[in-house]
Amino acid sequence: MATSPSPPPPPRSLPSLADVIFSSEQANHNFSRILGDLKRANLSITNRLRSIRHDAAFVARVAAARPRLPLVANERCGSWYIDPALKAASAYFKSTDGHTGQWKFSTRRVNLHLLDLIAQHNGCIIVDSTRRGKRIPDALSKTVPIWCAVLNRALFPSAPTAWHALHVPPNVVSLSEQSQIEARLPRFVADFLALEVDLAPLQQRLRNKPLRPLWATQDDFNDDDDFEGSGSELEFYPVVCCTSSRCVAGGTEVGEGAGYIQGAGDDTENWALGLTAPLFWAHADALLTTPEHELPALIQSLVAVHTNTGVPTELRQVAPRLAIGVLPPEPAARAALTVASASGATTCVVALVPAVTDAASWEKSPSHLEVGLGGKSKAASRALRAALPQICDFVSRFLLRPDDDDDDDDDDGGGSSLGGVAEKRAVAIVCESGKDLSVGVALALYCWCFDSSGQNLLLGGDREPFTKTKIRVRLGHILSRLPDANPSRATLQSVNSFLID
Is a pLDDT exceeding 90 seen at residue 445?
yes
List the one residue out of 331, 334, 294, 292 whose CA is nearest residue 313: 334
Count the alpha carbons within 13 Å of 287 in the hemisphere toward its beta carbon: 28
| Burial (CB count within 10 angstroms: exposed 0-12, middle 13-18, buried 19+), residue 402 | exposed
Burial of 417 (0-12, 13-18, 19+ CB in 10 A): buried
Would you tell me how many other CB atoms lie within 10 Å of the CB of residue 26?
A: 10
Q: Please classify residue 406 by burial: count the beta carbons closer than 10 Å to its beta carbon, then call 0-12 exposed, 13-18 middle and 19+ buried.
A: middle
Ramachandran bin of 102, using left for φ above 0, alpha for ψ from -120 to 50, beta for the remaining angles: alpha
HEC profile of 410-427: HHHCCCCCCCCCCCCEEE
Least confident of 90-99, 167-176, 341-350: 341-350
Of 43 and 426, the structure prediction assigns the larger pLDDT to 426
Q: What is the DSSP letter of 86?
A: T
Query: What contacts 19, CB < 8 A, 6 or more positions away?
Result: none
pLDDT in tens, 347-372: 889 999 989 999 999 999 888 999 99
Element (H, E) at 351: strand 346-353
Q: Where are the beta strands (DSSP E) in 109-246?
A: 124-128, 211-216, 237-243
- Residue 37, CA distances (Å) to 32, 267, 389 in order: 9, 20, 51
Contact 271, 43 (CB under 8 A): yes
Please report how the helices 437-449 and 377-400 are oriented relative to each other, as an axis angle in degrees rounded to 10: 30
Please count the other Cβ atoms lying within 10 Å of the Cβ belonging to residue 24: 8
Question: Distance (Å, rounded) from C-alpha 342 to C-alpha 345?
Answer: 9
300, 275 Cβ separation under 8 angstroms: no
* Separation between Cα atoms, residue 306 and residue 246, nearest integer Å: 32
The CA R_g of the chain, rounded to the nearest whole Å, is: 29
Range in 21-35, 42-56, 75-89, 363-377 the model is least confident about:
21-35
Phi-psi label, residue 384: left if phi above 0, alpha if psi -120 to 50, beta otherwise: alpha
At 236, the pLDDT band (50, 70, 90 cuts) reads: very high
Cβ contacts of 16 within 8 Å, gap of 6 or more: none
The count of other CB atoms within 10 Å of the CB of residue 246 is: 19
Q: What are the C-alpha distances in Å from 231 to residues 31, 58, 414?
A: 54, 21, 49
Is the pLDDT at 35 greater than 90, yes or no?
no
CA–CA distance, 122 with 87 (Å, rounded to integer):
16
Taking domain 316-500, whether its CATH number is 1.20.1250.20 is answered by no
d(CA 238, CA 235): 9
> Is-contact 128 62, C-beta < 8 A?
no
Min mean pLDDT across 16-20, 58-62, 316-320, 344-348 is at 16-20
Pairing relationship of beta strands 71-74 and 124-128 according to DSSP bridges: parallel
Q: How many CB atoms lie within 10 A of CB 234?
A: 15
Q: How far apart are CA 209 and CA 156, in angstroms?
A: 9
Beta strand 363-365 with 368-372 is: antiparallel
Distance between CA 501 and CA 499 in Å, rounded? 6
The whole-number average pLDDT for the span 43-47 is 85
Residue 459: is its pLDDT beyond 70? Answer: no
pLDDT at site 314:
77
pLDDT over 60 (residue 252) = no
Q: Are 430 and 327 in contact (CB under 8 A)?
A: yes
- What's 55's DSSP letter? H
Residues forming CATH 3.90.190.10 domain(s) in the chain: 316-500
The one-letter amino acid at 177:
E
Whether residue 311 has pLDDT greater than 70 = no
CB neighbours (10 Å) of residue 390? 15
Give percent above pLDDT 90 in the chain.
Answer: 44
- Asked if 231 contacts 68 with a C-beta cutoff of 8 angstroms, the reply is yes
**DSSP conformational letter for 321:** T
- For the beta carbon of residue 59, count every other beta carbon within 10 angstroms: 25
Cβ-based neighbours of 183, under 8 Å, separated by 6 or more:
none
Q: How confident is the model at residue 251, as a pLDDT? A: 41
pLDDT tens per residue, range 171-225 = 899 999 999 999 999 999 999 998 888 899 999 999 889 999 999 999 888 766 6
CA angle 350, 388, 334 (to 5 degrees): 10
